[in-house]
């Protein structure tokens, strides 16, 4: 698959804030324009769904699980479907060597390093996030970081 300057990796912070009704402009503009393609990976899916449960229910995600009522969080809101507007990128064993290197080089936590490694492995030139922790790492790896003000 060939990626272009119009391809954007979407960090979970973008989806989480969008779900809360905050900072929606940048993601809305990307989705509205047919020339842009947005991508996510399994880390973004996991982080978004965890926060989705926390935001859309009256209990913590663990308490919802223990009560057997995860389904109610999904019945009460269809906002989780916004992740379906993105394309999914799967990773392989190459992450095993790249992720620890990125963590050590840029002082990143594992999920952020997996996100950055996904961009590198798939040659995605743009990362969209509300997380300024990516600033130094993106600059060092030649990835454009877009942060909504």
Q: Tokens standing for 137? A: 């790492």
| Residue 129's pLDDT band (cuts 50, 70, 90) | very high
- Provide mean pLDDT across the span 61-84: 78
Q: Dihedral sign for Cα 47, 49, 52, 56, please.
A: negative
Q: What is the pTM of this model?
A: 0.88
If one compares 67 and 142, the residue with the highest pLDDT of the two is 142
3, pLDDT greater than 50: no
104, pLDDT greater than 70: yes
Q: What is the pLDDT of residue 76?
A: 66
| Percent of the chain surpassing pLDDT 90 | 46
DSSP secondary structure string for all residues of 67-111? HT-HHHHHHH--GGGGGGGSEE----TTHHHHHHHHHHHHT--HH
Q: Tokens standing for 58? A: 């009256």
Task: Give the integer Cα–Cα distance in Å for 26 and 141.
Answer: 23
Q: Which of 12, 6, 9 is nearest to 117 (CA)?
A: 9
Domains delineated in the chain: 7-146 (3.40.50.1010)
1, pLDDT greater than 60: no
- Provide mean pLDDT across the span 86-95: 90
Give per-residue pLDDT as tens, 25-39: 888 888 777 778 899
């Amino acid at each position: 698959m060939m990626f272009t300057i119009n391809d954007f990796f979407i960090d979970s912070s973008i989806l989480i804030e969008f779900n809360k009704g905050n900072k929606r402009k940048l993601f809305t503009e990307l989705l509205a324009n047919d020339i842009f393609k947005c991508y996510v990976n399994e880390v973004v899916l996991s982080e978004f769904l965890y926060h989705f449960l926390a935001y859309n229910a009256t209990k913590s995600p663990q308490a919802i699980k223990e009560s057997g009522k995860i389904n109610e969080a999904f019945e009460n809101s269809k906002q989780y479907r916004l992740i379906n507007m993105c394309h999914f990128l799967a990773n392989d064993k190459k992450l095993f060597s790249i992720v620890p290197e990125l963590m050590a080089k840029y002082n990143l936590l594992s999920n952020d390093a997996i996100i950055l490694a996904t961009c590198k492995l798939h040659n995605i030139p743009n990362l969209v996030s509300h997380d300024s922790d990516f600033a130094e790492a993106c600059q060092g790896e030649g990835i454009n970081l877009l942060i909504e003000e």
